[in-house]
């Protein structure tokens, strides 16, 4: 079983058109297709958004008992399906079920012309599903016969983002180790990093699991209940259980991306000016002038391989759950653990402002 990378994420949302408008006009993702009862997807409406290798499907249930409607009722808008591209969906499904995954949907074949897509589904964490996707032929087709492709619409194709770098996932206390072990034993994702972090009396444990291809990465986080409750606890309460806290979008020019998004009204978590006072001493020389980074609130970290630049948006949801990360890797292969304290302090300020 070869897992190549994140093929797409599917979000269940209360209003797919409204969510698409925000992602298209603020983040530059273009609408490339749609599906619904008229295309063989009963009781739902779905929109396909793309930018380079980033693919996000937005789905709204049209009836109360549709899975998307039930998900939104319980969790609010959020990531419900993480699609992974595999070499053989049928074999991967059988292998994962044999290793202990719960099978949800057996392999199904979709084709149009020379495009063939085979999918299968297994349970992941919480209410999140993993969709196995095998693709053959022209790759512009997403799900032949179910998602009807349309002329791209939205802002001009800017290619601010190239791929989904990783997903950050919050799990209830006591579930971190079993979840990491699940991905290690069932999916074959080794643990590549783990850390305990304390911020302002709050505590959290984290473990990072990654596919052998290095293109599927999950940062798993659980709160330390012996410490003061904080934003991880809030996420788990407001989201009603485990879920994707943020999606990290990879960019090759974070300064340009942040400037563009800011001009379009995207709000980012603030960074205290004191963060930059000794930045050069902590991470070494940065190619981008520190004044530019400070002006935009961009964080910088370093690991053995290079530097990492990142910034986090405010949540766009009323429950203050899911948000986005913009990340530029200048050789770095880890996840900015040195910036986590700054992130959580900023998130605390955002939540305090909403209170």
Question: Same structural domain for residues 169 and 248?
Answer: yes
The DSSP annotation for 53-117 comes to TEEEEEEEESSTTSHHHHHHHHH-SEEEEEEEEES-HHHHHHHHHHTTPPEEEEEEEEEETTEEE
Kindly report, residue by residue over 71-97, the tens digit of the pLDDT. 999 999 999 999 999 999 999 999 999
Which region among 52-56, 223-227, 268-272, 332-336 has the lowest average model confidence (pLDDT)?
332-336
Kindly report, residue by residue over 230-287, the tens digit of the pLDDT. 889 999 999 999 999 999 999 999 999 999 999 999 999 888 888 888 888 888 889 9
Question: Same structural domain for residues 167 and 142?
Answer: no
Whether the pLDDT of residue 319 is over 60: the answer is yes
Provide the pLDDT for residue 153. 85
Provide the pLDDT for residue 316. 86
Question: Same structural domain for residues 299 and 170?
Answer: yes
Provide the pLDDT for residue 279. 86
The DSSP annotation for 229-264 comes to --HHHHHHHHTTSSEEEEEEEE-S-HHHHHHHHHHT
Count of domains for the chain: 2
Question: Same structural domain for residues 333 and 201?
Answer: yes
Whether the pLDDT of residue 308 is over 70: the answer is yes
Per-residue confidence band for 353, with pLDDT thresholds at 50, 70 and 90: low
Question: Same structural domain for residues 191 and 71?
Answer: no
Average pLDDT of span 23-27: 94
Average pLDDT across the chain, whole number: 93
**Which residues, in sequence order, are CB contacts of 342 under 8 Å at separation 6+?**
271, 272, 275, 299
Whether the pLDDT of residue 155 is over 90: the answer is no
CATH classification at residue 97: 3.10.180.10
The 8-class DSSP code of residue 125 comes to S
Question: Same structural domain for residues 206 and 253?
Answer: yes
Average pLDDT of span 332-346: 67
**Which residues, in sequence order, are CB contacts of 295 under 8 Å at separation 6+?**
none
Which segments are annotated as binding site?
Answer: 166, 246, 325
Per-residue confidence band for 334, with pLDDT thresholds at 50, 70 and 90: confident
Which one of 93, 127, 153 terminates a domain? 153
Which one of 153, 175, 192 terminates a domain? 153
Provide, rounded to the nearest whole percent, the portion of the chain with pLDDT above 70.
94
Which one of 110, 131, 153 terminates a domain? 153
Provide the pLDDT for residue 351. 64
Provide the pLDDT for residue 281. 85
Provide the pLDDT for residue 233. 95
Domain around 52: 3-153
Which segments are annotated as binding site for Fe cation?
Answer: 166, 246, 325
User: Is residue 12 in a domain?
Assistant: yes
Question: Same structural domain for residues 120 and 210?
Answer: no
Average pLDDT of span 203-213: 95
Per-residue confidence band for 352, with pLDDT thresholds at 50, 70 and 90: low
Whether the pLDDT of residue 132 is over 90: the answer is yes
């Amino acid at each position: 079983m070869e897992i190549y990378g994140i093929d797409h994420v599917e979000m269940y949302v209360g209003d797919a058109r409204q969510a698409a408008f925000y992602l298209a006009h603020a983040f530059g993702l273009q609408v490339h297709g749609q599906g619904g009862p008229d295309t063989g997807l009963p009781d739902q409406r779905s929109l396909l958004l793309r930018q380079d290798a980033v693919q996000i499907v937005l789905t709204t249930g049209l009836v109360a008992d549709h899975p998307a409607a039930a998900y939104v009722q319980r969790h609010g808008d959020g990531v419900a399906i993480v699609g992974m591209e595999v070499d053989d969906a049928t074999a991967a499904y059988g292998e994962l079920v044999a290793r202990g995954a719960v099978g949800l949907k057996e392999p199904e074949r979709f084709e149009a012309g020379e495009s063939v897509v085979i999918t299968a589904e297994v349970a992941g964490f919480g209410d999140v599903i993993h969709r196995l996707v095998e693709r053959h032929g022209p790759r512009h087709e997403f799900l032949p016969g179910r998602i009807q492709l349309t002329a791209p619409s939205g802002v001009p194709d800017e290619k601010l983002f190239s791929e989904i770098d990783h997903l950050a996932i919050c799990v209830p206390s006591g579930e971190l180790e079993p979840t990491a072990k699940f991905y290690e034993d069932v999916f074959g994702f080794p643990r590549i990093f783990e850390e305990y972090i304390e911020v302002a009396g709050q505590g959290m444990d984290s473990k990072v699991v990654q596919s052998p291809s290095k293109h599927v990465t999950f940062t798993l986080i659980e709160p330390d209940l012996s410490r003061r409750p904080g934003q991880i606890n809030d996420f788990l309460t407001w989201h009603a259980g485990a879920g994707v806290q943020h999606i990290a979008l990879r960019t090759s020019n974070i300064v340009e991306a942040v400037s563009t998004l800011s001009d379009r009204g995207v709000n980012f978590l603030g960074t205290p000016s004191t963060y930059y006072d000794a930045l050069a001493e902590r991470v070494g020389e940065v190619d981008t002038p520190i004044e530019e980074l400070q002006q935009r609130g961009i964080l910088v970290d370093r690991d053995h391989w290079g530097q990492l630049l990142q910034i986090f948006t405010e949540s766009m949801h009323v429950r203050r759950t899911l948000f986005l990360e913009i990340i530029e890797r200048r050789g770095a292969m880890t996840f900015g653990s040195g910036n986590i304290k700054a992130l959580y302090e900023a998130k605390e300020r955002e939540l305090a402002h909403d209170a």
